[in-house]
Amino acid sequence: MSNVGSHTGRKIALWILFVIVHASGGLVIGQGDHRAPIKVIIDADPGIDDAIAILTALQSPELDVLGITTVFGNATLDAGTQNALRIVELGGWNVPVARGAENPLIIPAGDPPDFVHGSDGLGNTNMPPPKGKHIGQSAAEFIVETVRSDSGSVTIVSLGRLTNLALALELDPDLPKYVKEVILMGGAATVAGNVTPVAEANIWGDPHAADIVFTAGWPVTMVGLDVTTQVRLSNDILLRIKQRNPTIGTFIHDISQFYLAFYESLGVSGGMFVHDPSAVAFAIDPTIFDVEPFAVRVAIEGIAIGQTIAASELHSNRPGPWHDIPATGVALGVDAEGLLGLLEETLSRKREPEEGPDQP
Binding region for ligand BDR (CB under 6 A): 47, 49-50, 74, 116, 159-160, 185, 194, 200-202, 275-276
Cβ distance to ligand BDR smaller for residue 54 or 342: 54
Judged by CB under 5 A, does residue 43 bind Ca ion? Answer: no
What number of helices (H) and strands (E) belong to the chain? Answer: 14, 12
Subset of 122-151 contacting Ca ion (CB under 5 A): none
What does 147 interact with, of ligand BDR, Ca ion, none (CB < 5 to 8 A by kind)? Answer: none
Rg over alpha carbons for the chain, rounded to the nearest Å, is 19
Q: Give the CB-nearest residue to ligand BDR.
A: 201
Report if residue 47 touches Ca ion, rule: CB under 5 A: yes
Examine residue 210 and tell whether it contacts Ca ion (CB under 5 A): no
Burial label, 75 (beta-carbon count in 10 A; 0-12, 13-18, 19+): buried
Q: How far is the CB of 223 from Ca ion (least distance, A)?
A: 12
> What does 226 bind: Ca ion, ligand BDR, none (CB cut-off 5 to 8 Å by kind)?
none
Minimum distance from CB of 232 to ligand BDR (Å)?
14
Three-state secondary structure readout of 82-120 = HHHHHHHHHCCCCCCEEECCCCCCCCCCCCCCHHHHCCC
The contacts of residue 243 (CB under 8 Å, 6+ apart) are 249
For residue 172, indicate whether it is catalytic: no
| 83 vs 202 by CB, closer to ligand BDR | 202
Least gap, CB of 205 to ligand BDR (angstroms):
8
Cα separations (Å) of 253 from 75, 122, 123, 138, 295? 19, 11, 10, 31, 38
Give the DSSP letter of residue 177: G
* CA gap 173, 166 in Å, rounded: 10
Output 91 or 193, the one with its CB closest to ligand BDR: 193
Task: Clarify whether 208 is annotated catalytic.
Answer: no
Rounded to whole angstroms, the Cα distance separating 293 from 19 reads 10
Residue 231 phi, psi (nearest 5): -125, 140
Set 275, 276, 285, 324: catalytic member: 275
Q: Which residues are catalytic?
A: 45, 275
Using CB under 5 A as the criterion, which residues of the chain lie in contact with Ca ion when the complex forms?
Answer: 45, 47, 50, 159-160, 276
